[in-house]
Every structure is written in C-alpha cells, then in structure tokens.
Amino acid sequence: MSDQGQEMRDMVVSECHEKMAKAIGHLKDEFSGVRTGRASSGLVEKLRVDYYGSEVPLQQLAGFSVPEPRVLVVSPYDKGAMKAIEKAIQSSDLGITPNNDGNVIRLVFPALTEDRRKELVKVVKQRAEDAKVAVRNLRRGARHDLEALEKDGDLSRDELERVEKGLEGHTQKVVAEIDELLHHKEQELLEV
C-alpha cells in the first residue's frame, strides 16, 4: 500500500470518528434541553436573546444557580438585559413564566405529570434513534470512500477489510454510548 493510500485511509477514518463524536455531542446538547422535573441551566443557556440588536445565547449574558431542585435562578451580568432575557424565556417552549425581581429572574419548574414524562421519553428515544441513523450513515460514507481507495489501487483488499472491521467496532461503541445516554435520560425523566 502506498504512503498516499495510508494517508487517505487514515484521513477517512479519523474524519468519520470526529463526525461521530460530534453526533454524540449534539445528542448530549439536545438531551440537556429536554426538561425533567429538575431545574437545570442546560434548559435555558442556549436560548437566543435579542441583546441590543444581536442574537446572543443566554449563557453569555447571565450566570445560573439552582438553590432548590425545581428552582433556577438566572442572574444577568447586565441589568439592562433583564427584559430581553425575560422575553426570550417567555417565548421559548419551556412553558414557564419568569419571575423578575429587578435583580434576578427566578424560574420555578412544575413537577411533570406522568403523561408528560412518557411523552418526553418518546422524544428522547426518537432523538437517540436519529443519532444512531446519523452515525450509521457516517460509517456508510466512510466505507464508500475506503472502497473507492481500494478500487483505485491505493488500498489492498486485506487492508480494506481490516479498516472496515475497525470502523464497525468503533460504530458499535458509539451506538452503545448513545444507548447509555438514552438510558440515563429515561431514568432521569421517569424519576419522580
């Protein structure tokens, strides 16, 4: 196998691994935005706030604390952003009315009903399934690229099979990690 073939093979594999890691990161972000019965800054930190004409994520405008399990306190760094932050929270899909005392914004999360918990479990299962499909598509794309290298003579048949086995093993590990994330999120949602 040529040096160029090795280089191209390594590039295909590392790019695939990188994109799979991004898929996991994206899923974690999505899961942190799914409300459980607990207060968490992950539910609001990515909210876009209209701050003096710019769309800015809330995490850049405020600090967060959780003084009680179902209370999230948002402390704006600039009190002038208070109204904009309040408006962003009200127009989000959280369904929570912010309580503004002039210094901080308090968000009190109501306990989830049994039906709402089950709905949210369906949502996270679907998101996990979407992530698995994305990961498998990445593997398929990488295999396609590797097979093209083999066809062009840059990769031997044995090397192709060895690399594809490694790719398959990595894909299974990533899918197992997705299942693990899903399991934890389901437990969190069903915990009363």
CA distance 125 to 80: 40
Residues paired with 26 in a beta bridge: none
Contact 69, 39 (CB under 8 A): yes
User: Do 22 and 53 have their domain in common?
Assistant: no
Confidence check: pLDDT of 192 > 80: no
Of the residues 66, 88, 108, the one at which a domain ends: 108
Of the residues 108, 131, 154, the one at which a domain ends: 108
User: Do 129 and 148 have their domain in common?
Assistant: yes
What is the DSSP code (8-state) at residue 173?
A: H
User: Do 23 and 48 have their domain in common?
Assistant: no
Of the residues 53, 78, 108, the one at which a domain ends: 108
Cα 170 to Cα 14, 41, 130, 132, 184, distances in angstroms? 11, 32, 18, 13, 21
Contact 64, 77 (CB under 8 A): no
Contact 100, 86 (CB under 8 A): yes
Contact 124, 184 (CB under 8 A): no
User: Do 7 and 48 have their domain in common?
Assistant: no
Residues in CB range of 23: below 8 A, 6 or more apart:
131, 134, 135, 138, 174
CA distance 67 to 75: 12
User: Do 52 and 27 have their domain in common?
Assistant: no
Number of domains observed in the structure of the chain: 2
User: Do 62 and 88 have their domain in common?
Assistant: yes
User: Do 98 and 152 have their domain in common?
Assistant: no
CA distance 78 to 59: 12
Residue 10 belongs to what domain range?
3-33+113-190
Q: Output 101 or 5, whichever has higher pLDDT.
A: 101
- In this predicted model, what pLDDT tens digit does every residue of 90-136 receive, in sequence order? 888 777 889 999 899 999 888 888 888 888 899 899 999 999 999 99
- In this predicted model, what pLDDT tens digit does every residue of 29-71 receive, in sequence order? 888 877 676 777 888 888 899 998 899 999 999 999 999 888 9
User: Do 98 and 127 have their domain in common?
Assistant: no
User: Do 83 and 127 have their domain in common?
Assistant: no
- In this predicted model, what pLDDT tens digit does every residue of 142-180 receive, in sequence order? 999 999 999 988 889 999 999 999 999 999 999 999 999
User: Is this model's pTM higher than 0.75 or not?
Assistant: no
Looking up residue 128, the CATH number of its domain turns out to be 1.10.132.20
